[in-house]
Amino acid sequence: MKRIAVFASGNGSNFQSIVDSIKDRKLEAEVSLLVCDKVGAKVVERAERENIPRFVFTPKEYESKAHFEQDIIEELRQNDIDFIFLAGYMRLIGPTLLKEYEGKIINIHPSLLPSFPGKNAIEQALEAGVKVTGVTIHYVDEGMDTGPIIAQKAVEIDAEDDAKSLAQKIHQIEHSFYPAVIHKLLNKTI
């Protein structure tokens, strides 16, 4: 069984959907570590409830990204991590971690990349006036949301949608789509 780490910075709803998919036997894996860069984030409480080991750090306390990424690598090694799945982790992955886990770091993003990369993708889509946005799952490289695309799913934007309602529609898709794609990746069917 593959041992995975989930990196998150906030609420952790995608983290929870991965954990729940494992419990429901829709995903054969073990979440062996949560990595979080925000002390007090709700995702940390979720991991505690699920008895999942946690590495929570404060980036400002480190000399550089390379230094905290080296500590992350040590935690990943101690927990025998095979793959990393980003789920609302709001930091670019640096060369230290990319080199160590090349081709094994996957991200989920709330748009149909390459449109609307980076922060505030939902707001960017609304401001652009597009009628369709969506969810992209992609490999992580050194750029911001520029890695090779693994899978995408479209979400229609209705005239009455605002940032909150569109975010809810996107999260609803993410919570089933991400675990399903992870399952395919781990079983090498995608």
Q: Is 109 a catalytic residue?
A: yes
Burial of 48 (0-12, 13-18, 19+ CB in 10 A): exposed
Choosing from 67, 109, 171, 175, the catalytic residue is 109
Interaxial angle between packed helices 13-23 and 163-186, expressed in degrees from 0 to 180 and rounded to the nearest 10: 40
Spatial CA neighbour of 38 closest among 96, 107, 88, 105:
88
Task: Locate all alpha helices (DSSP H) within 5-93, ordered by sequence.
Answer: 13-23, 42-49, 65-78
Active site residues: 109
